[in-house]
Each structure stands twice: as C-alpha cells, then as structure tokens.
Structure 1
Amino acid sequence: MRTPILQFGTSRFLQAHADLFVSEARAAGQDVGPISVVQTSGDPARAARLAALTSGYDVRIEGMEDRTPVQRVTRVNSVARTLSTETDWAEITRVFVEEARMVLSNTGDSGYDPCPADGTDAPVQDLSYPAKLTRLLASRHAAGGRPIQVMPMELIADNGTVLRDRVLELAEGDALRAWLMRDVTWVNSLVDRIVSQPLEPAGAVAEPYALWAIEDQPGLILPCDHPAVQVVSNLSEIETLKLFILNLAHTWMADQFRQDPEFTPALVRLFVARREATLRRLYETEVLPAFDAAGMGQVARAYVETTIGRFANPYLDHRLEDIAQNHAQKVERRIKAFLSWAEAQGDTAPKTSLSRIVTRTLKA
C-alpha cells in the first residue's frame, strides 16, 4: 500500500472536505490518493475515530442547492491508513520519506503557535505542527530529498507562505534550507464549508456549499479534479471576504453566546432567526464601510447575502459552543485583524461592537 497524500489532522472538517473530494474523485476513476491520516494531538479519546476512518464513513450533506432542498449521504473511502504522532512516529517518517507526494494539514487555529520545545531534541509530541513537519522534511532531505508539495488548509492568510517561513526558522543547515526553498512547493489555499456536527465514530454533517481555492504557481499539483477545487491567480479577495464577513460573523456570534446564555440550544440558524436584524446592522455599519473603502462594496454585499443564507440553513445544527473554541485566537485573526485592515483602507467609521469584543477578549 502506498499513500501519496499524507494528512495531518483528523477533524470533521477534513472528513467532509478534502477527504470527501478525494474519495469522490477516486470513485470517478481518477488516479489520486489514497490518504494516510495522522493524528497530531495524541488524544487517546479519538482512537475510535482513527479506526473508523479506514473503514469508510458517511458525510451527510444537508441544505439548499440552487434553491432546492438537498439531503444526501456520501460514503467516503479515501483514507487507507491512520497513524498518531504519539505512538507511530517511525512509521509516519517512513511514509513521509518513501510515499508522500503531497502533505495536507488542518491543525486548528493555534496549530502554528510555537511550543517551548520547538528547535530542541524534545519528544515529538511536545512540538508544534511546524516543528514536527520540519523534522519530517529534514528526514526526507537526508534520504535524497525528492520534491514534495505542502498544502496547509488552516484558516491563516497566505498559509503556505507562513508555514514555510516558520519551517525555515526551525530548519538547521544551509543545505536543508536551500532544499526547502528549491524542492518543496509551498501552496497557499483557502477552504470553506460549514461542517456543523460530527457523526460517530467518524463522519460529519455539512452544507452543500464547498470551496477549496488554491493559489496557482509553477509546479502546482492538484489533489484531485473536483468541482469544489478551484485554482485562482490570487487568493487575496476570497480570503478577505471569507475571513472578514463569514468568519468574523461566526466569532461575533460566539462572543454574543459567551456573554448571553439565553440561546438554548445555541445554534447559528436560531441565532440568525432571532437576531438577523442585529447581524445585518453589524455588517452595514461596521463591516461594509471597510469594503466600500477598498473598492469591494458590491462583491461584499453579495457575499453578505450568500453568507446569511448559509447561516440560516434549516438543516444544520451548527453549535455556537463549537465555534467558540479557541475564541481568543479567532478574535485576534478575524476581528482585530479586520479593524487593522479597515484602518489601512482609510475606513474611519466607528466599530463599537467589534472593538468592544477585542478589548474584552484580548486585554482581559
């Protein structure tokens, strides 16, 4: 068995996004995958999930597609092997060196944060994801250095570039650093799909809408040919719209949930049903002026309407409690970053609600 795709992360998002796309492409006859999935957390509570991934699992797609209700189940069979950095490092290294042509990752909002052990000889599990990746790349380089493509999927602007720069900081030796720049293709990409809840022991419920936007560059290899996979010349506009309209609103809702326990069950669709006018007022008074200043007002208003429709999906139970995880990091990247971006565009409109969230969360 050989797995050309090595994936770090076992999240329900990946299960309903990249893993599903590769599975559908394989079912259509494409010579892509399969995937080895690596659990980076070492959490023993997820052992059942790891075992279930290789047996195949269901993704339930529910929502509106071309104004038509959609409810369908897709079986995902693209995961051939599962490993854990806690117990299987030698095998992960072998797969990385001998089999992998492409590396995917989605390690959460704090996945790139440095750990104290980074850059030391500490046990693998004490390292951040970039430090783990650096060790694996060094092993591949030492074994002959065949080219490889790294495709992070974390919701970080210019994620491939950011990950590359962190790996270069950690890499030791001019020869290794030169190889990392010459023979490793670092890909910027943006992913989008609302995945509202897990199925047990593996699988998920997701909306019909899905996007994997990949920034073009020389030598780029696509993970598969799929309608949701789009190659674009520049990710900037898509990133800005998603981060500062959809993701910002999710974090704003999560902050409301943290301050107000009234919503039970606390679901995005119920929040929108009750407070759509408040959400629209936030967009109109605090968010859209920045897009107007950037010359993106028309496309941003269209994106707002699409986003509210996705939020209101009557089929998805998207829990605010889940969105509120890693809240401080999300406020930093989605709201504080928006305030800085708005100022850079010349937008001087007051941002009272958003500024209050930043102050309350990051200066507490």
Structure 2
Amino acid sequence: MSTDQLEDTMRLSLTSRPRQVPSSVGIVHLGIGAFHRAHQAVYTEDAGDGWGICGITQRSAAVVDQLAPQDGLYSVLERGPEGVSARIIGSVREVLTGDATADRIADPEVRVVSLTVTEKGYRHDPATGRLRLDDPEICLDITGREPRTVIGRLVRGLARRDAPVTILCCDNLTSNGATLRGLVEEYAERAGVKITCDTAFPATMVDRIVPATTAEDLDEAERLLGVRDQGVVVTEPFTQWVIEDSFAAGRPAWEKAGAIFTEDVAPYELMKLRLLNGTHSMLAYLGARFEYVSDAVGVLGDALRLYMDEDATPTLTVPTGFDLEEYKASLLTRFANPALKHRTAQIAMDGSQKLPQRLLGVVRDRLAAGAEPRWAALAVAAWMRHVWTAKNLDDPLADHLRMAVSRAVRPSEVVDALLSITEVFGPDLRESAVFRDLLVEHLAWLTSGASPY
C-alpha cells in the first residue's frame, strides 16, 4: 500500500486516506510496535502540524518488512460496541531497525525521542528503578561493544548531539520520565560517556487497549478500505494521553488531538497503573482459564471491583474534577468489549516487570496504612500460581522464577521462594507477615479449587 496506491484505489471516504503525510521527521520513536501506532502516532497525525515520525524497531524486523513497502502507511482498526471502523495513518515517515538508533537520534532536526519498549526493555530493577548492572546485554554495552540495548543506543545517540532534545517515555513505569533520566545518567556514568546537549524527560501517562492483530483483522481492514494492509493495528475507541508540559525543543500540538498537558502527571499515572493496569493483571492471572478478557471479566467482575474500591482507591490522590467512580465503571465496560478479542495470555507476559508498577505499590501503601491488601494479594497469588504451573512462562526472569519454585510442593513454599526474589518484591515485602499470610491463604485456595475465583 504505497501513496500512489492510495490515490488510485481509495476513493471511498476521507477516512480512507491519511489526514497528512509530513515531509520531514521531527520525532524518533523507539519501539514502533502496535501500541505506538494506535496511540502516539495517531495523536501526532491529528495534531496536524507536520511532525513526521521515524519509527525504530528494537527487536524483530517484521514491522520494517510490513511498513517499508507501504511508505510507512498503515491502518488503525477501531472496534467498539457500535461497530468497527478503519482509517489510514500517515505520520510515520521512516521505519528502521535498531542499528540506526544512534544516528537518527543524533540528527539535529529531531527534537523529540519517544519510547514504547515495554517495561522489560529498560533492563532495570523494577523494585528499585535502577539499571540492572548484572544484565549480560547491559554489561556488554557498557564495556565497549556497539550498543544493542535500548538504553545503550539512546545514550550513544544523545552523546552525539549538540542540539536540545526531549526524551518522552510512554511506558508503564512509575515516574517514567524521572526513572528514564536516572537510567540514562547511570548508564552514561558507567560507560564513561558524556551527554552535553540540553535534555528534558517529561512524565507521561498513556491509555489505550491494543490487542495483537490477527489474520481476521487484516481481512476486515481490507474489506473496509479496499486495499491489503500488512501493518494493521487494532484498538478500542477510548484513548487518553496525559503529558507533563516540559519540552526542551518544541513539540507537536498534541492538545489539538485531545492530549492533556499538566504540571503534575503523577495522579493520573498512579490511577492508570493501579486501576487499569493492576486490574488487567489481576484479570489475566485470575482468569487464565479464559482465552479472552471479555469472557473473564463476566465471571471476575466482582473481585475486580473489590480490588479497585477497597485496595487501590484508598492509595490514590484524585485530580480536581476527575470522576473516579465513572472511570472505574468505564474500565469494566472497556474490558467487556468482545470485539477486541484481547487475550489474557498477552497481558500475562512479563509479570515480574509489571507487578511492581501495577500491584506491589498498592500492597505497600495499604500495609503502611495498617490495612490488609486482601484483593491485591489475591492478584499477586494468582501470578504466583501462574509462575508455579505455567508450561511456557513468558518473562525475562523466567529461568530465575522457575528455579525458585522448582522444589516447592506446598503453597507456603512457593510463596516463600518467590518473595525471596528481591528484583520483584524488594527486601521489605518478604518481611511482611501480613502479606505473606494473605498470599499463602489465597494460593492454597487457588490451587485446591476451593476458591470461588
């Protein structure tokens, strides 16, 4: 699907062609996966002020193979209760592999570097927010090879710049801007690299459900658009982006596309991490027997709401004018959308990296308040069951986790073995008798079949 093909074959409606096709690149995006293409790239196009994106894949080259022959064009298939629609996005102007990262970041015409590389892509310790200096890939990068990690490539590119630039983390990390700044500075110090350009690391919160694309989705997009698109992404109608308004070298007018700019992202970030993401993880592990989220939420809705109301909500500071009750109700409605076909297995991936951001902060805050985090502990126990019983554990700490539970026979042994993994739980939660007892109780229920969940 090239630009010429669009002109020749798409005479259907305005949504069948991009709203703009920028002529230059002002944004380099690391992690040009489905989420970025369904979220930030759409906002950038809808801002309408000509900012083009160079998308760089840090892992598989499949997205390059999909989008490069299409001049970076792709379609967004939006599935909601009222039906499905498709539109073409033209904001992505280049699609490259990771080897090009440093050179593209060094380009003075680039003014924003954004990232969606998932939690594990940062190779950090989720419990402390620090760089994992024992990570073999980080060690190889620091000791002199051409960088292959995201942080290594980012630092290499920044070290080649003189012009100011903004680094915009759009992943689910607590205080993601400050966390990324700390990782960059720690890596640069360890590697003996100097960064002299002015940089800004704003905090952000992103929200949109983007399940994996299926062959059926490709067929439906072709039916709606009249042309075959190999780069289709699927999403829901809901979208939200909250951004700290602190940029070093200008930015697109994302507010024209609906983004919220604020001086303090933290309350929005915490709500999203603990309500949407925390509930999503609870749903995935507790409802692992269901293939799709929409099926699981019908059975587990009461437990999810109890987690949100009794454990997560007391730990939040709600922004003025924000309707928290409506937001919580909307989450269950979004999860129940059967058209998305969001697989629980997709959410269950990388649990060791996700739990500290999504659930363990709730646990710590409830314990500090003298309360029992009963429902958050149920979600963590369900993850422990997943680690103990899953045949194919998709997690960057998979070998470590499997080894920890390999000799465990009883739920109490599983709990003690996993609580000892400080990369996930830190040293503090291991010492909490209240938390441990809840985990043992819940895991015993879950593995005996006596639990109503």
Does TM-score exceed 0.5, indicating one fold? Answer: yes
Asked whether the 8 Å contact 1:3–1:35 carries over to 2, the reply is yes
Which stretch shifts more, 232-241 or 93-102? 93-102
1:13 paired residue among 16, 29, 35: 35
**SS of structure 2 residue aligned to 1:313:** coil
Q: Quote the Cα distance in structure 2 between the aligned partners of 1:300 and 1:84.
A: 41
TM-score, reference length from structure 1? 0.82
Partner of 2:203: 188
Partner of 2:25: 3
Are 2:191 and 1:166 equivalent residues in the alignment?
Answer: no
Partner of 1:84: 97
Q: Quote the Cα distance in structure 2 between the aligned partners of 1:332 and 1:175.
A: 30
Distance 1:5 1:355, change over 3 A: closer
Question: By how many angstroms is 1:163 displaced?
Answer: 1.0
Asked whether the 8 Å contact 1:269–1:313 carries over to 2, the reply is yes
Q: Which letter does structure 2 place at the counterpart of 1:36?
A: C
Asked whether the 8 Å contact 1:60–1:204 carries over to 2, the reply is yes
**SS of structure 2 residue aligned to 1:4:** strand
Q: Quote the Cα distance in structure 1 between the aligned partners of 2:382 and 2:274.
A: 15
**SS of structure 2 residue aligned to 1:111:** helix
Question: By how many angstroms is 1:350 displaced?
Answer: 3.4
Question: By how many angstroms is 1:313 displaced?
Answer: 1.9
1:119 paired residue among 142, 145, 148: 142
Instruction: Provide Cα deviations, 1:147-166, integer angstroms capped at 9, x if missing partner.
Output: 11111111112211111111
Q: Which letter does structure 1 place at the counterpart of 2:261?
A: V
Question: By how many angstroms is 1:224 displaced?
Answer: 3.1
2:258 paired residue among 203, 223, 228: 228
2:75 paired residue among 18, 43, 58: 58
Are 2:243 and 1:214 equivalent residues in the alignment?
Answer: yes
**SS of structure 1 residue aligned to 2:329:** helix
Question: By how many angstroms is 1:323 displaced?
Answer: 1.0
Question: By how many angstroms is 1:348 displaced?
Answer: 4.0
Partner of 1:325: 349
Q: Which letter does structure 2 place at the counterpart of 1:164?
A: R
Partner of 1:93: 103
Asked whether the 8 Å contact 2:165–2:199 carries over to 1, the reply is yes
Distance 1:339 1:148, change over 3 A: same
Q: Quote the Cα distance in structure 2 between the aligned partners of 1:355 and 1:322.
A: 17
Asked whether the 8 Å contact 2:30–2:115 carries over to 1, the reply is yes
Instruction: Provide Cα deviations, 1:106-164, integer angstroms capped at 9, x if missing partner.
Output: 00121111423242211322xx2112100001111xxxx11111111111122111111
Which stretch shifts more, 69-78 or 279-288? 279-288
**SS of structure 2 residue aligned to 1:305:** helix
Partner of 1:287: 312
1:316 paired residue among 319, 322, 340: 340
Instruction: Provide Cα deviations, 1:268-312, integer angstroms capped at 9, x if missing partner.
Output: 111112332332233344434445xx689x954332111111111
Partner of 2:87: 74
Q: Quote the Cα distance in structure 2 between the aligned partners of 1:105 and 1:295.
A: 27
Q: Quote the Cα distance in structure 1 between the aligned partners of 2:345 and 2:158.
A: 36
Question: By how many angstroms is 1:53 displaced?
Answer: 6.0
Q: How many residues align?
A: 335
Partner of 2:112: 102
**SS of structure 2 residue aligned to 1:171:** helix
**SS of structure 2 residue aligned to 1:190:** strand
Q: Quote the Cα distance in structure 1 between the aligned partners of 2:349 and 2:314.
A: 29
TM-score, reference length from structure 2? 0.67
Partner of 1:138: 159
**SS of structure 2 residue aligned to 1:278:** helix
Structure 2 unpaired stretches of 5+:
1-22, 124-131, 133-137, 219-229, 388-400, 402-416, 419-453
**SS of structure 2 residue aligned to 1:81:** strand
Q: Which letter does structure 2 place at the counterpart of 1:134?
A: V
Q: Which has the higher strand share?
A: 1
Residue pairs, 1:212-361, within 5 angstroms? 212-217=241-246, 219=248, 221-225=250-254, 226-258=256-288, 261=289, 263=290, 266-291=291-316, 299-351=323-375, 352-357=377-382, 361=387
Asked whether the 8 Å contact 2:242–2:261 carries over to 1, the reply is yes
Identity of matched residues, %: 25
Asked whether the 8 Å contact 1:51–1:82 carries over to 2, the reply is yes
RMSD between aligned residues: 2.7
Q: Quote the Cα distance in structure 1 between the aligned partners of 2:363 and 2:153.
A: 33
Q: Quote the Cα distance in structure 2 between the aligned partners of 1:246 and 1:357.
A: 17
Asked whether the 8 Å contact 1:9–1:37 carries over to 2, the reply is yes
Question: By how many angstroms is 1:195 displaced?
Answer: 1.2
Partner of 2:231: 202
Asked whether the 8 Å contact 2:67–2:95 carries over to 1, the reply is yes
Instruction: Provide Cα deviations, 1:222-254, integer angstroms capped at 9, x if missing partner.
Output: 333333311012112111111111100111112
Question: By how many angstroms is 1:192 displaced?
Answer: 0.6
Q: Quote the Cα distance in structure 1 between the aligned partners of 2:369 and 2:330.
A: 24
Asked whether the 8 Å contact 2:105–2:158 carries over to 1, the reply is no
Asked whether the 8 Å contact 2:210–2:234 carries over to 1, the reply is yes
Are 2:52 and 1:22 equivalent residues in the alignment?
Answer: no
Q: Quote the Cα distance in structure 1 between the aligned partners of 2:373 and 2:170.
A: 33
**SS of structure 2 residue aligned to 1:136:** helix
**SS of structure 2 residue aligned to 1:124:** coil
**SS of structure 2 residue aligned to 1:196:** coil
Q: Quote the Cα distance in structure 2 between the aligned partners of 1:166 and 1:280.
A: 35
Q: Quote the Cα distance in structure 2 between the aligned partners of 1:295 and 1:73.
A: 34
Distance 1:321 1:356, change over 3 A: closer
Bigger Rg, structure 1 or 2: 2
Q: Quote the Cα distance in structure 2 between the aligned partners of 1:188 and 1:347.
A: 30
